[in-house]
Amino acid sequence: MPKFQYTARTQEGKLESDFIETSSIEAAISFLQNQRLIIIEVKPFEEVEAITLNEFLSQILAFLNKIKNQEIVLFTKQLAVLIQAKVPLVQSLRVMARQVGNPRFAGIINSVASDVDAGMILSRALSKYPKVFSNFYVQMIRSGEISGRLEETLTYLSDYISRQFLLNSKARGAMIYPAFIVAAFFAVGIVMLIWVIPNLTAILAESGQKLPFTTRLLIGSSSFVRKWGWLIAAILIPLGYFIWHSIKKSVEWRYAFDEFKIRFPIFGELLKKIYLTRFSETLSTLTSSGIAISQSLEITADVVGNAVYKRIILEANESVRRGGNISSVFGKYPEVLPMVTQMISIGEQTGKLDSILKQVSVFFTEEVNRAFDNLVNLIEPILIVVLGIGVGILVAAILLPIYNLVNAF
């Protein structure tokens, strides 16, 4: 019998997440409602299965041939220009397929063009490729088709994707420099432990002198790495891949990992602002495009990129469906900053939720940019101090016994 995972709240407001085996998802929903539970999410349960070699290789190939956000932005902008120039949609798609440098992306665009040529609407054709065109992207295209303003929608979409890409790039960019420095330090340390320290050990062993604690520790670490390093690497690499694969596939693992991220000191507060920026801008964009608030919340929950916020947004959506509001749900969670809850409450009371959310997204975008600049300025001196201490200990452990050996003669 199929297995479903659900997230719901009891009448007392307690959140619970569990599994249920029923004949269909409708039967699962009916059963939960009979238990007087307030349903937040019900989805088929996908167990984490061992990945085969073919799947592993196909994932590597897909990663190497990954369609980048810049390519989607460029495609969206150029398609908007062609449609604005009154070039037929199918012809525009064919032209774009020839100009795209990524062969995988070109093949997808050609397939979309063929579907549109066969009578399918563009949004439906794009929805066949959810890993390339998100639900948000498809729904925005659909709203443009319904309103007859497809070229304007495409232009707005390209700007939106560009802003989100810039935000994500800033997050990655802030981490690249310290990650590179730390990785280089560890690489140099491993080289010294495997090749340099053994030669030093032979010299010091002949001298017969008593070695400092740091030197003995360094020699012991060198012996351990040379003897067992290959085994540690053979265990850690597959284990790391398994954990990452589990986080991607398992709902509970993903939720725990996302919760850990937003509770991590310093970086957690920054990540909260990034997710709230994404939430406010996405929901503002969708609602201002004429998409119903309930559907907009569902799409935003998928776009926000964090399982904790996804659960909160889906609960807010359930509240809206029952005639409640978003702010009453958001106010219960410390993950949602009080300012956001207050602004949403004002937007709901005045009927200007989309414009209020737009202002919130602008505010948090500026906050995130300032935070990233401050973080980069703070990380550099911290790294210098930490690496300086590490290098100092390493040099002292190597040079001190050599200095004592020279003085002995």
- What tens digit of pLDDT does each residue of 238-247 get? 888 887 776 6
With respect to residue 303, please indicate whether it lies within any of the assigned structural domains: yes
- Structure confidence by residue, pLDDT tens digits, 51-60: 444 544 555 5
pLDDT exceeds 60 at position 268: yes
Residue 408 pLDDT level (bands cut at 50, 70, 90): low
* pTM of the predicted structure, to 2 decimals: 0.68
- Cβ pair 291, 303 in contact under 8 A: no
Q: Which residues fall within 8 angstroms of residue 105, CB to CB, at 6 or more apart?
A: 67, 71, 75, 132
Share the mean pLDDT of the chain: 81
Are residues 165 and 128 part of one domain?
A: no
Alpha helices for 100-212 (secondary structure H): 103-117, 122-126, 135-147, 150-191, 197-207
With respect to residue 54, please indicate whether it lies within any of the assigned structural domains: no
With respect to residue 184, please indicate whether it lies within any of the assigned structural domains: yes
Which of 106, 122, 148 terminates a domain? The answer is 148
Give the mean pLDDT of 308-316: 92
Residue among 232, 310, 234, 304 at smallest CA distance from 274 = 304
Counts for the chain of helices (H) and strands (E), in that order? 17, 3
Residue 48 pLDDT level (bands cut at 50, 70, 90): very low
d(CA 136, CA 355) in angstroms, rounded, equals 19
User: 3-class SS at 48?
Assistant: coil
pLDDT attached to residue 61: 53
pLDDT attached to residue 207: 66
Q: Which residues fall within 8 angstroms of residue 356, CB to CB, at 6 or more apart?
A: 343, 344, 346, 347, 350
With respect to residue 372, please indicate whether it lies within any of the assigned structural domains: yes
- Cβ pair 174, 375 in contact under 8 A: yes
Q: What are phi and psi of 133, to 5 degrees?
A: -110, 110
Which of 130, 148, 166 terminates a domain? The answer is 148
With respect to residue 180, please indicate whether it lies within any of the assigned structural domains: yes
> Residue 88: which CATH number?
1.20.81.30
Are residues 31 and 168 part of one domain?
A: no
- Structure confidence by residue, pLDDT tens digits, 314-355: 999 999 988 889 999 999 999 999 999 999 999 999 988 989
pLDDT attached to residue 54: 52
Are residues 221 and 89 part of one domain?
A: no
Are residues 354 and 208 part of one domain?
A: yes
- Cβ pair 246, 253 in contact under 8 A: yes
Least confident piece of the model among 74-88, 120-134, 379-393? 379-393
Q: Which residues fall within 8 angstroms of residue 164, CB to CB, at 6 or more apart?
A: 69, 278, 281
pLDDT attached to residue 51: 46
Give the mean pLDDT of 184-209: 77
Alpha helices for 192-250 (secondary structure H): 197-207, 213-249
Q: Which amino acid is at 273?
A: K
pLDDT attached to residue 308: 92
- Cβ pair 287, 293 in contact under 8 A: yes
Which of 148, 183, 205 terminates a domain? The answer is 148
Are residues 210 and 76 part of one domain?
A: no
Q: Among positive and negative, which fits the CA dihedral 125, 127, 131, 137?
A: positive
CA-based angle 174:180:186, to the nearest 5? 140
Q: Which residues fall within 8 angstroms of residue 147, CB to CB, at 6 or more apart?
A: 153, 289, 290
Exposed, middle or buried: residue 301 (CB in 10 Å: 0-12, 13-18, 19+)?
buried
> Residue 38: which CATH number?
3.10.20
Are residues 275 and 353 part of one domain?
A: yes
d(CA 45, CA 5) in angstroms, rounded, equals 5
pLDDT exceeds 70 at position 188: yes
Task: Give the percent of the chain with pLDDT over 90.
Answer: 17
Are residues 10 and 90 part of one domain?
A: no
Residue 1 pLDDT level (bands cut at 50, 70, 90): low
Are residues 184 and 320 part of one domain?
A: yes
236-245 — which CB contacts under 8 Å span 24+ positions? 245/48, 245/51
Are residues 403 and 268 part of one domain?
A: yes
Give the mean pLDDT of 219-229: 84
d(CA 330, CA 338) in angstroms, rounded, equals 9
Are residues 89 and 216 part of one domain?
A: no
pLDDT attached to residue 64: 53
- Please tell me which residue, 173 or 88, carries the higher pLDDT value: 88
With respect to residue 101, please indicate whether it lies within any of the assigned structural domains: yes
With respect to residue 53, please indicate whether it lies within any of the assigned structural domains: no
pLDDT exceeds 60 at position 365: yes
Are residues 81 and 161 part of one domain?
A: no
Domain enclosing residue 95, as ranges: 68-148
The number of folded domains in the chain is 3
With respect to residue 60, please indicate whether it lies within any of the assigned structural domains: no
Q: What are phi and psi of 389, to 5 degrees?
A: -65, -45
Are residues 242 and 129 part of one domain?
A: no
pLDDT exceeds 60 at position 40: yes
